[in-house]
Chain A
Amino acid sequence: MNSVLVFALAGVGLIGLGLYGLLVQRHLLRKVLAFNVISSGIFLLLAGLARRAPGAEPDPVPQAMVLTGIVVAVAATALALAMMLALRSATGRTRLKDHGDED
């Protein structure tokens, strides 16, 4: 098993785990964390799968992309957490209201 395959499988595993969390967990904090797990999986894929010749310098482009992606994910997480807190102070809930119980 070469390193690329390890990275790829770990990345896919993380994405699956995060997707499951995002869809199944109801607490918003857990959803936000699940999104971060998905992002980590994608970053792992991006950096691990980048094409590289054996022995040559690693390709800098995917690393630049992962760095940008991390910045984006941090900003998104901050906004999601702020919005979650605002939702809690407005309604006292930390989960989304379902379509079934709309007023």
Chain B
Amino acid sequence: MSLNEPSTAIDDEQRRRIGEAMTQADLALPQVWLHYFSITGTVDEYEIDAYLNRMIALPPTECDKLAHAVNELIDDIPPRPRAPFRDEISP
């Protein structure tokens, strides 16, 4: 983990959007970390927390694993119910 390297614009953008995706989807950190861990994530939950709070940088691979973990969890969220047309309702 690179603690002292200055973060790049890409780092910041990815971090911000991961955080935003989590907030939007109402994903809690423990849940995200567990999933991240299951896809071979190697850093601890508190480090993810620190990363999301812009306190440390993570290696690019870990950032991508985290992003992927978040996306899989978002994919798992059941879609909102849709309104049916009349002929879709069986009598």
The yes or no verdict on A and B being binding partners is: no
